[in-house]
Structure 1
Amino acid sequence: MALSRDAILGAVDVQTEKVPVKEWGDDVIVRGLTGEELDAYQASIRQLRPRLDGKGMEPVMIHDNMRAKLLVKCLVDEAGERLFTDKDVAALGAKNGKVLDRLYDVAAALSGLSEEEQEEMEGNSDPAESAGSTSSSPDESSTAP
């Protein structure tokens, strides 16, 4: 039997993972994004600009504080409430880059950002190759909230 509308909408499918951060002295809870939040995040780090050859537009990634932009949306307390607002991006971005990178990887995986998309965001691939990629990542190490 197929799932009903109510069963789908009632499913608790946003996952969390507790991550030890020795640099900060304890664990943090990372929550994956909802579909709406993921779309907003992706829109916030992408822009279209005119191509250098003058033939149309091309997508470009905005790398400024992209890790902190994701993490302010994904770091939550025990009740699942966000620890930060979007206004905290710069303050969180000033924290240890190694820690932010480690937490970003967890948040990206829980949120369904594909490996190709993460590489593009980190500047390791050609944006044209993965601009339309929306496949999800495995979530084998996460736990339900």
Structure 2
Amino acid sequence: MALSRDGILAVDDIQIEKVPVPEWGDEAIIRGLTGDELDAFQGSIREFRPTFDGKGMEAVLIQEGMRAKLLVKCLIDENGDRLFTDQDASALGAKNGAVLDKLYDVAARLSGLSEEEKATLEGNSGASTADESSTSSLPETSSTAP
């Protein structure tokens, strides 16, 4: 039987995972982002600037605070409520980088960031970042695989 509009909209498909964080004395609960939340996150870490030659625009990745910006949207309590507001990203970003990286990996996976896109966000591709002088552009955002 084919999926219906009502059937799709009725499904609770947001994934949640508990992650042990011994450094913080307990476990964290991470919720994957909705499509709208993922779009907002991706938009918050990209900036469009003129290309080096001035003939076009390029998307530049703003890596500063990237992990914390995702995690403030994904860390939840036992009731499913967010632990942090978007304004808490800087404070959360001051925590242990290894812990944030571990939690970021889970949040990215649950939110549907593809491995290619995750590599781009982490600066492991040829895409330009705010810290580089490259004139290459980020790939266009496409639908991501779970």
TM-score (norm 2): 0.89
Q: Please give the secondary structure, in 2, of the residue aligned with 1:59.
A: strand
Matching residue of 2:17? 17
Gaps of 5+ in 2: 128-135
Report the Cα distance in structure 1 between the residues aligned to 2:27 and 2:85, rounded to whole angstroms. 19
Q: Please give the secondary structure, in 2, of the residue aligned with 1:19.
A: strand
Report the Cα distance in structure 1 between the residues aligned to 2:66 and 2:36, rounded to whole angstroms. 18
Pairs within 5 Å for 1:78-117: 78-117=78-117
Higher relative contact order (CA 8 A, sep 6+): 1
- How large is the Cα RMSD of the aligned pairs? 1.4
- In the TM superposition, what is the alpha-carbon distance from 1:3 to its structure 2 partner? 1.4
Give CA deviations for 1:90-142 in whole Å, capped at 9, x if unaligned. 1100000000000000000000011111111111102257512435355xxxx
Identity of aligned residues (%): 67
Report the Cα distance in structure 2 between the residues aligned to 1:102 and 1:40, rounded to whole angstroms. 22
Structure 2 residue identity aligned to 1:94: A
Gaps of 5+ in 1: 139-145
TM-score (norm 1): 0.90
Q: Please give the secondary structure, in 1, of the residue aligned with 2:12.
A: coil
Report the Cα distance in structure 2 between the residues aligned to 1:135 and 1:65, rounded to whole angstroms. 24
Q: How many residues are treated as equivalent by the alignment?
A: 138
Report the Cα distance in structure 2 between the residues aligned to 1:101 and 1:118, rounded to whole angstroms. 12
Matching residue of 1:120? 120
Matching residue of 2:132? none
Q: Please give the secondary structure, in 2, of the residue aligned with 1:18.
A: strand
